[in-house]
Structure 1
Amino acid sequence: MVSPIKKTFVVEHLDPELEAWSSLEYASIARESQASGVRFLLSSVPNTLKLPENLAHVQGLEVEHDSVENLFDKPRVCLLDPAATQELSPADGDKFDVFLFGGILGDDPPRDRTSELRKKGFEGRRLGPVQMTTDTAVRVTRMIVQDRIPLDKIPYVDNPEIKVDEHESTEMPFRYVLDKEGKPIMPEGMVDLIKKDSERGFGDLI
């Protein structure tokens, strides 16, 4: 029997900088990828960009300065694209080896950052109609193509409220996967970052 090709999940970093928000998401993706036996690649990272401490030493992260179109055979790459007409399905795990995400997906409102990758001609799939953070999009994709769980069978919560203090809470304008306790899965340290930056307004987090 031929052993299956290890899946690769690529985030094409589309910003000249790396915000704390993205850093926590990327670290979360790296840890989960390592635990799941898949590759996580951060591509198009500028040579001038110094990775923050939490990313520089995290297991499961590969950094590439080249663009994804120069790294992989285009027909084997699936672009996770909110504008695609076809939903991602378990069968796509047989068709594609590489799953590509345009960072940062978690813009509110969405700025269609993925359009820069769409122009390069990658075949696209959608993860439903609701905006997800980058780590959630990678998590959902992995559950579909590796664990073979259909998109509509994954437990979600939309726009969860995060309690900032006794009197205040912040609504997160995204879709999250629920854990076994029924709580939204967020990167380690994200709630603390939300609390810390709540006075500045949610828009400054992104």
Structure 2
Amino acid sequence: MKSLRGNSITSYVVEHLDPELGPWSTLEYRSIAQESAKAGVRFFLSSVPRNISLPPELRDLECLIVEHLSVEELFQDEKGRVCLLDPAAAVELSPEDGTKFDVFLFGGILGDDPPRDRTSELRKKGFSGRRLGPIQMTTDTAVRVTRTVVQQKVPLKDIPYIDYPELKIDKHESTEMPFRYIKSADGSPCMPEGMVDLIKADSEKGFGDLL
């Protein structure tokens, strides 16, 4: 079985909990991979079913490590290194956790609306848990926030957020995103490239169909 012991590079792991890989997840995973490469960290996508064919947007990303094994198998002897980002955790993530853990685990998709608590599938495996606050985030936002806290040492309360942003679909219609995002320098929610276009194109379907 794989062991990643001895490698001090911080790793971010999204345990893919869906039998499929839709366009929403694809854009989020691509964004996480690209930002991870810039930050000098590793990004694992674990528990990917063998029958899933990766879309072109993910296929050629050298910074994306796709694993068919579960995170429990990957780190079976090293659970103490793993921090599960869990909305139900009693303790919030802090900059000090960057020295306590070097693997940060996310149950995709965190951004379900309404929340389905799929993180519970990982919670029962015994990983230490930390919370990112009271409001649901998309998976890429959760990774971005975690990286800001544990690597840049910015406390959760000091990160600029925008909650439930309203996106203009056209001059007559808008839609409210039911999540928390990091606020960009221009005041807009920080989203993966192509996400706004995807939301506009599929606004009539509802978020469940996008995920």
TM-score by length of 1: 0.96
Q: Which residue of 2 aligns with 1:48?
A: 51
Once residues 178 and 35 of structure 1 are traced to their aligned partners in structure 2, the CA distance between those partners, rounded to angstroms, is 19
Q: Which residue of 2 aligns with 1:10?
A: 13
Which 10-residue stretch deviates more, 63-72 or 85-94?
Answer: 63-72
Please, which runs of 5 or more residues in structure 1 have no aligned partner? none
Asked if 2 retains the 8 angstrom alpha-carbon contact of 1:79 and 1:122, the reply is yes
Q: Which residue of 2 aligns with 1:32?
A: 35
Once residues 83 and 206 of structure 2 are traced to their aligned partners in structure 1, the CA distance between those partners, rounded to angstroms, is 34
TM-score by length of 2: 0.94
Once residues 202 and 122 of structure 1 are traced to their aligned partners in structure 2, the CA distance between those partners, rounded to angstroms, is 29
Task: Say which SS state the counterpart of residue 42 (structure 1) adopts.
Answer: strand
Q: CA deviation at 1:202?
A: 3.2
State how 1:39-188 maps to structure 2 within 5 Å: 39-72=42-75, 73-188=78-193
Q: CA RMSD in A?
A: 1.0
Once residues 200 and 114 of structure 1 are traced to their aligned partners in structure 2, the CA distance between those partners, rounded to angstroms, is 25
Q: CA deviation at 1:89?
A: 0.2
Please, which runs of 5 or more residues in structure 2 have no aligned partner? 1-6
Asked if 2 retains the 8 angstrom alpha-carbon contact of 1:85 and 1:125, the reply is yes
Q: Percent identity between the aligned chains?
A: 71
Q: CA deviation at 1:184?
A: 0.7
Once residues 31 and 114 of structure 2 are traced to their aligned partners in structure 1, the CA distance between those partners, rounded to angstroms, is 23
Asked if 2 retains the 8 angstrom alpha-carbon contact of 1:31 and 1:59, the reply is no
Task: Say which SS state the counterpart of residue 179 (structure 1) adopts.
Answer: coil
After superposition, the Cα gap between the structure-2 partners of 1:151 and 1:71, relative to the gap in structure 1 and judged at 3 Å, is same
What is the one-letter code of the residue matched to 1:201?
Answer: G
After superposition, the Cα gap between the structure-2 partners of 1:203 and 1:47, relative to the gap in structure 1 and judged at 3 Å, is closer
Equivalenced residue count is 203
